[in-house]
Structure formats: structure tokens, C-alpha cells
Homo-oligomer: A and B are copies of this chain.
Amino acid sequence: MSHDVSRRSFFGGIAAALGYLGLGPSTDLFAQQNRPGAAGNAPRMRTSSDDYDTMAHLSSNENCWGPPESVMKAMTNAWKYSNRYGYPDANIVGEIAKHHGVKQENILLGAGSGEILDVVGTTYLLGGKKVLGVEPSYSSVYQHATSIKTTAIKLPLGKDYRQDIPAMIKAANEHASEIGLVYLCNPNNPTGITVTKDEVRQLLDGIPKGMPVLIDEAYHHFVDDPNYATSVPYVIEGRPVIIARTFSKIAALAGMRLGYAVASAEIVQKMRPYSMGSINALVKHGGAAALKDTASQASIKKMVIDLRKKTTSELNAYGYETLPSETNFFMVSIGREIQPVIQEFAKKGVAVGRPFPPMTTHMRVSIGTAEEMDRFTKAFKEIFPAKPKSTAAVEGRIVKSTN
């Protein structure tokens, strides 16, 4: 009948292929993206998309390798829900809860941890309360505070660009009545430096009882330092701690948008009205698969750490200090303002940066593929002269508090 004929012409044959053909070993979309000039690739038309594809993207702390096969398979199998609402969702909330040993009522899904940061900000800062944190850090919460007409109390980093926990405790107590939320990015972005588990406990014990603390663990999965630990146990302990996690980093799903908060049921309920509860069907399935694919995550972690060590060693040998990162990015001290340098790298097909005031003479570099890191190092040596290797300790800088 005519309906069926018309209907057929609508279906995504591509989706069907994806769902049922299995894995094709001969083509490799992510590899082509990362290796535009590789031998054997057919010539491609120049488009703005191709311009994007030819850059080494080392500016946004992405996972250059893309989602692993298990995750791609789960997502493509979910195409059939692309037109649906109440479909089987791979029990994503349950899987996350199980992963952390908490209940489903302790999980709030977000479209990336960016949504979670905004939701926490709206929940605790609406009406003019301030967020307390360090600068530089991931500035999303501070920006959201501004957008909802309040401000941040930003403390300078301490010695060796570490977050100064005693100073945070002091400020939290002195400004207790003004503060709605403490923000701790651990490991910190853009420095890549961790706060130790002892320091986290010191912070939580030292601030006024009941003051909510948002701990952003976006880069949790890359950390090797045994002195670091996740703060999820503090949620289970009943503290007013909210952990933000994302599938954008180790799980390589930045463009797909999935993150979540772990917090007490009471806090989750308080936040839910400001969350959209509007997550893409594919990434729910992808996220559930990612949680299970620990082998892929271990492999990504190893590649990131190996490439980070290789690249920073080369920069150190060339005479440039790097900060001791535990993430998929690092900072290098370039001794001059970063902004014009970003342009010089861009001309060489490498995206780096951006400025992170007040550390504007440091450059943040994300870990890309081996080829991309080679390209970066080559560009670095073209742009900067070799320097005698400095042995001076990296000193913390004084940052003006703004509030």
C-alpha cells in the first residue's frame, strides 16, 4: 500500500547498516580525522569541515581517539530510538549508580557535566550567594554565577600552582554568610594539578558545616597519583558534597553530551528542577557501554600518560618548565603572553590555548595523537628558542581576589 512505499523511502539505510552490519575493519573515521595527509587517503574536497579536520585540536582537552568500538556499537544500535521518548535507555542511571555504589536517587544526569555545573550554580547561587574557588580553574561555574547576577570569590593559587586549601578554608569561614557554594576542580583545569585526598578532607572538615561543595572530577580517570582519590565516599558519608563527572574525557563523548552529579538524594531533588532531563538517546546507550569498557579506558589512560610524559620531557629538555599534570593536558611556561602565540600555532595547524588569567604566560596543551604531539613539539621549537634548562622551582603567583 502507498503508506508503506512512502515509508520505506524515509528510512535511514545508513542506520540500518550501522545497526546490523557489524564492524567494518577497513575504514577508520577517527584515524582519517587525525591524519589528514596519511598515504592512501583519497583526495578530499576543501570545506570548512575539512579545515577543521586538518587541525591538531590540542585546545579543548578532548579525547582525540574517539569513542571505543563497544561504545560506538551501543550508540549505533540505539538509532531506532532516535524518534522516541520513553525507550529502553540501557538503564543508564542504574549503571552509573552501580558504578559508584550509590542509589539511583543519588544520580542526576546532565547533558555533559557542563549542565551539572550550571544546575549546581543555579541551585545554590540564585538570589545572590557567591561561589568560592581558585583562579585559574574551570571557569564555567564562575561565568554562570555572573550570568545569574552574582559573583565569585576567587582565590589565587598557592605555591607551585597548587590550590591553597588553608586559604580556601579561611575564606569560607570569613565569608560564610555570603557563600552559597565552594567549587573545587580536582584535578584542576587548566593546571592539571591534583588536590590530595588529605587536602580534600582538610577542606571539608574546615569549612562551615553544611556549606555545599561542588567537586568537579572531569579528569578523574587520568590520575595516577596515589595521594589523589575520588570524593564520592563523602557523598555516601552524608556530607553536602556534589561530585560532577563527565563522559566527555576518558569516554570521548564530548560532542554527544553526557555527564552526571553524585550527591545526596536531598540535594539531587533540590537540583532537579533546574536540570533539563533531556539527554540524547544514543549517548545514554553509549554511556552505559563506556562504564563497562574498562579495558578501553585503561588503554586511553596509558596512551595519554605516555604521550604527556614524552612531550613534556622534550619541552623540559628544550629548556621550558611544565607543570606536573595528572590529566590529558598540561601547562608549559612560555615566558611571554599566550594570545599571539596561539595564532602562531594555528598557522602551523595546531590549536592550543586559551589564556587562563592570571597565568597568561603559560600555555595549556591537550594530549592528542602521537602524530599531533609531534606536530606540536615541532611547532613549539620553531616558535620558541632553545633555553638553558632552568632548575628553579616553580613558584606560585599572587592572584587578586575578585568578588
Q: Which residues of A contact B (CB under 8 A)?
A: 1, 3-4, 6-25, 27-31, 33, 48-49, 52-53, 57, 60, 62-69, 71-73, 75-76, 78-88, 110-112, 114-115, 118, 122, 126, 144, 147-148, 248, 252-257, 272-274, 276-283, 296, 299-300, 302-303, 306-307, 369-370
B11 touches A80 (CB 8 A): no
A111 touches B278 (CB 8 A): yes
Partner of A274, one of B67, B72, B122, B302: B122
Instruction: Note all chain B residues with C-beta closer than 8 A to A11.
Output: 28-31, 65-66, 69, 72
B14 touches A82 (CB 8 A): no
B303 touches A80 (CB 8 A): no
B48 touches A29 (CB 8 A): no
A282 touches B254 (CB 8 A): no
B147 touches A273 (CB 8 A): yes
A85 touches B66 (CB 8 A): no
Nearest CB in chain B: distance from A310 CB, A: 10
In this complex, what residue of B is CB-closest to A34?
B7
Partner of A18, one of B3, B18, B118: B18
B255 touches A370 (CB 8 A): no
In this complex, what residue of B is CB-closest to A81?
B255
- How far, in angstroms, from A85 to B242 measured CA to CA in the complex? 24
* Most chain B CB inside 10 Å of its own CB: which residue of A7, A19, A71, A148: A7
- How far, in angstroms, from A312 to B33 measured CA to CA in the complex? 52
- How far, in angstroms, from A253 to B82 measured CA to CA in the complex? 6
Instruction: Note all chain B residues with C-beta closer than 8 A to A303.
Output: 3, 6-7
Instruction: Note all chain B residues with C-beta closer than 8 A to A302.
Output: 6
Contact status of A256 and B82, CB under 8 A, knowing A14-B23, A14-B73: yes
Nearest CB in chain B: distance from A343 CB, A: 16
Instruction: Note all chain B residues with C-beta closer than 8 A to A256.
Output: 82, 280-282
29 residue pairs A–B, Cβ–Cβ below 8 Å: A3-B306, A4-B369, A6-B302, A7-B31, A7-B65, A7-B369, A12-B29, A13-B23, A13-B28, A14-B21, A14-B73, A15-B18, A15-B72, A15-B76, A16-B27, A17-B17, A20-B27, A21-B24, A33-B80, A52-B87, A67-B82, A82-B253, A111-B276, A114-B276, A114-B277, A118-B276, A122-B274, A257-B279, A282-B282
Instruction: Note all chain B residues with C-beta closer than 8 A to A72.
Output: 11-15, 79
Instruction: Note all chain B residues with C-beta closer than 8 A to A370.
Output: 1, 3-4
A18 touches B16 (CB 8 A): no
Instruction: Note all chain B residues with C-beta closer than 8 A to A4.
Output: 369-370
B12 touches A67 (CB 8 A): yes
Instruction: Note all chain B residues with C-beta closer than 8 A to A9.
Output: 69, 299
In this complex, what residue of B is CB-closest to A146?
B273
Nearest CB in chain B: distance from A210 CB, A: 21
Instruction: Note all chain B residues with C-beta closer than 8 A to A7.
Output: 30-31, 65, 303, 369
- How far, in angstroms, from A282 to B65 measured CA to CA in the complex? 18
A148 touches B65 (CB 8 A): no
In this complex, what residue of B is CB-closest to A113?
B278
Nearest CB in chain B: distance from A20 CB, A: 5
Instruction: Note all chain B residues with C-beta closer than 8 A to A282.
Output: 255-256, 280, 282
- How far, in angstroms, from A33 to B79 measured CA to CA in the complex? 11
B111 touches A12 (CB 8 A): no
B13 touches A79 (CB 8 A): no
A80 touches B29 (CB 8 A): yes
- How far, in angstroms, from A19 to B44 measured CA to CA in the complex? 14
A307 touches B274 (CB 8 A): no
Partner of A80, one of B66, B73, B254: B66
